[in-house]
Amino acid sequence: MTGRSASLMVTCLGDLFFPEVGVSIVRLLRRLGVAVDVPADQTCCGLPLFNSGYHADAAGVARRTVELFGDSEHVVVPSGSCAWMVKHEYPGLLADTTLARAAVELAARTHELSQVLVRVLGVTEFTSAVRGRVTYHDSCHLLRGLHESESPRTLLSNLEGAELVPLPGADECCGFGGSFAVRLPEVSSKILAKKLANVESTGADCLVACDAGCLMQMGGGLTRAKSRVRALHLAELLDGGR
């Protein structure tokens, strides 16, 4: 990361529901000597509109985002799904506009958090904010959209104070799927129940993921079941101090 500066794309879910994740990312990057800025007036990457088929509207939101991050050297995204949207779908959505080239360039400069830490900065060792056993869920867009399953595991297995235990069916969907969760709530909940049974079977204290949507779904299920397992974002877990 030349010049060691990065812009944080905080994401709508992150901004509204999990601000502590953004705070942890800022702290983590600063500790690594990266200057962090947060372009003002962020809203959303447009994925919810895109996934439900409202592409003209999604393109409008994409335009905003491309313009907002036009000056960023690097963009760090806490969610695999939002990073995927920018990298994978923005170029197509804006192909016939004046921002076509800018979209392609933004796609190249945007990375999900674990990829930034491991692949871009080459840093893999952190101290855990939570001591105990952790288990990792592969969120679908990060795993299959961005082909990333290693970086989070590298970080978690090198995490001081935490023991990584494998999650059976880690690569299986948690059932969030955006609007799917409220369009077909019974199916979504049954898929979630299977995921949580797997989580409980690991004996882990903490469930980690790199996507706010997954964390809302799984975390919501865990607290409803009054489980002792905590759902945390990777950034929070890595933010254990020095």
Q: Given the complex with other proteins, which of 157 and 179 has the nearer CB atom?
A: 179
Among candidate residues 194, 188, 218, 224, the one with its CA nearest the CA of residue 206: 218
For residue 88, give the DSSP letter.
Answer: I
Tell me the sheet residues that pair with 232: 208
Least spacing, CB of residue 47 vs other proteins, in Å: 10
CA angle 235, 22, 134 (to 5 degrees): 20
Q: Which structure tokens are listed for 229?
A: 């397992």
3-state secondary structure of 123: coil
Please, are residues 203 and 168 in contact by the beta-carbon 8 Å criterion? no
Q: Given the complex with other proteins, which of 145 and 240 has the nearer CB atom?
A: 145
Among candidate residues 158, 159, 156, 138, the one with its CA nearest the CA of residue 147: 138
Q: Contact residues for other proteins (CB under 8 A)? A: 10, 12, 14-19, 21-23, 26, 38, 40-44, 46, 48-55, 57-58, 60-61, 64, 140-141, 144-145, 171-173, 175-192, 216-217, 219-221, 223-224
Least spacing, CB of residue 187 vs other proteins, in Å: 5
Q: At what angle do helices 55-68 and 100-109 cross, to 10 degrees?
A: 70
Please, are residues 234 and 113 in contact by the beta-carbon 8 Å criterion? yes
